[in-house]
Structure 1
Amino acid sequence: MGPALEAKEALEVLMNQKIVPDLIDKVCNIAGSMFELLGKKNGYALAKKILESGKAEQKMREIIKAQGGNPSIRPEDIRIG
């Protein structure tokens, strides 16, 4: 049940349907650090902008498709339990 809830919540955040401050902060900190390792400035702000713009969701759907999954999946499609 745990992984399904996490996947559902992650997808909701990617789709900007749900605001989960702790998750968003953690994601932006990790991604922001990676951007800064690559020489980008203001990594946290860049990561947050990408998340809010929908580009992160778009990339996730590309990854889902590349792995043979359904790129049109919606949070309500994820069964809990």
Structure 2
Amino acid sequence: MSLERVIMAFAGFMVLLSLALTAWLDHNFIWLTVFVGANLLQSAFTGFCPAAMLFKKLGVKTATELAILQKE
């Protein structure tokens, strides 16, 4: 799976997790949803995404890198 898809899956998971925590534990977990949404919005404009940096360090490759590997 490419880095781009991992980031989308991780963001979706975090939104669903924070909504579940908000519903079942404490209404203040809604701020986690706000943080994830704000991070997605700012990364769309700046290209800076801390989660992408973390996943790259863990070895997840971008779509371009995967395409190059498939051609070899």
| TM-score in terms of structure 2 length | 0.40
Structure number with higher helix proportion? 2
Larger Rg: 2
Does 1 or 2 have the higher relative contact order (CA < 8 Å, sep 6+)? 2
- For normalisation by structure 1, the TM-score amounts to 0.38
